[in-house]
Amino acid sequence: MYIVDSIVEVPEEKADELISIYQKRSRLVDEYKGFVSFQLLQNEVRPGQLTVHMCWETKDDYLQWVRSQDFKRVHELEKNYPDQELASIRPTVKRYKVVAQ
């Protein structure tokens, strides 16, 4: 299993707006080979910190998604958020190989 976390920091008052965007996500990734799950996590102590948590069967499956036209399309949409403050936020990405369960 391969885990990818994309962590974003937004002003607390913008957290609900970003959550709403993710609740309406395109779900294109859900159809990709090796995709296991998607969760949007909100930090309980710092509500403006949100983490996109994705699980993949393998690193190669994840890389196929990242190299796809659908990935590029989804991330192009982010540049068109009505709120330009949200559009300019860049996540910190962390990748993990599951080594025990």
| Segment 53-83, tens digit of pLDDT | 999 999 999 999 999 999 988 877 666 666 6
| Segment 12-43, tens digit of pLDDT | 998 998 898 889 888 889 999 999 999 999 99
Q: Report the CATH number at residue 85.
A: 3.30.70.100
Instruction: Give all strands of the β-sheet with 2-9 in edge-to-edge order.
Output: 35-42, 49-56, 2-9, 92-97
Q: Are the C-beta atoms of residues 15 and 57 closer than 8 Å to each other?
A: no
Structurally, the chain folds into a number of domains equal to 1
Alpha helices (H) along the chain: 15-23, 59-66, 69-78, 84-87
pLDDT of residue 73: 85
Residue-number span of the structural domain to which 92 is assigned:
2-97
Point out which residues pair with 93 in neighbouring strands: 6
